[in-house]
Structure 1
């Protein structure tokens, strides 16, 4: 636009609008069309037994992706440049490894099982502080954010390790047992008296009983005992002394389907713990040049994502 005859903004050296549209396909793995087996090794290299892994599927089709991208490039005063991009993408016939009913013997099968929608924002700021023949100093700041959602799922919702795949939920969500960190986490099961609970030095809520401290398990021989608590309607709830307490809440998947009927969703201990997709990524780069000598540095950050520690979860 800055090269057109009607352009008369002197301090903007360049303004460019851009748009791109593209499609791509992703072929399934060659072995996904066949039944696959695994061998369980025994000592000295012998094979103990063979286990079934994946059910054959010769009707697999390539997944198909449509992507559109719009953006603007701006240069101000020959020193400051701004690039802003928004991209949206839809992948249909998404290839997923889905669990199978027990009577089929094979636990998994690769299938074209749904659709995933993705939205991405990207921004880049570049500043050329010094630019001469013998030397230059420049800085670059980048930022991006991506959100992916399973917009359609052609099979029942399922778990794959710590991940939960369900229609309407974000890609990369980690689900499992959440442990209480505050007495308010026990409100869904009717606990209102917090005098029998304390937060231990790991930040987890544990049952200690009235007058006890979570550090007195050995001194008062409290390990292995139980703590009885009366809930809001007079029923007795029993907790093991000093151990983390699993949170039970209304089913998030049920609430997502029908937010207006929260009370109709049964209590569950299977809850979202986090997401492996970061809230945003950012980086800062510098480039210094003096004649033939160049110095570059780069700082990168990924903020807001969750890392699943399988060993720590098993230990709890």
Structure 2
């Protein structure tokens, strides 16, 4: 997982400041450094803070760290390069440094002191981020879960009010999903949910969001009016017909669509889309209905 270039992602106080004089003394305020590193829960911010501190005390152009699937960058990648490999919590950590000059022994000692200080707060921040993501995403399909949907819907309503714009909500479920489970078993049913979720992600635009809010029920937040949402619904129906796995087991979907209005609450918007979904079911399934009222 690429977590970006810290010097481009964080406030000025964390960016490399080449004009700052570098200390050659080992008499650095370790307690203050520890406090700085532990006060952040975003791992990129922790690493950016670490890079800025390193740049103050050592002739450093840049530093990179790799831990599991995570990669962090601070500064530049030119200059004298060397690499450290170490083990932390039974996981390998690789740190690559880019220096303006080779280090003298006192600077090497300082580098190792500072390096040891960053690992625990960085791992803590990564673990916090992982737990936060687990709380927001559905474990099976990797789509946003109901909680994430509710939070995202609140943000969309606030954005629409602020910008005097609009958006659409699509509520979907799989037709006859219980029958699919009964005929082929829950393992295949789970596979169908995963394939359907992947199809949704591949079909929506980057600005849209997909969620699994329970069972075989999904929602889409679409950054567009109902006319463009209609186009998306047609793309979803076409994608299902051309999806080998889902077509093989005759997996289809019904959809209800509505557009946010000024006086809508989260509940009223969802209820209108859900009513449209039931109209689609009544119309024979494998289709969509739009509720404009």
TM range, smaller chain: under 0.3
RCO comparison, higher one (Cα < 8 Å, 6+) = 2
Query: Which one has a larger percent helix, Structure 1 or Structure 2?
Result: 2
TM-score by length of 2: 0.20
Larger Rg: 1
TM-score (norm 1): 0.19
Higher relative strand content: 1
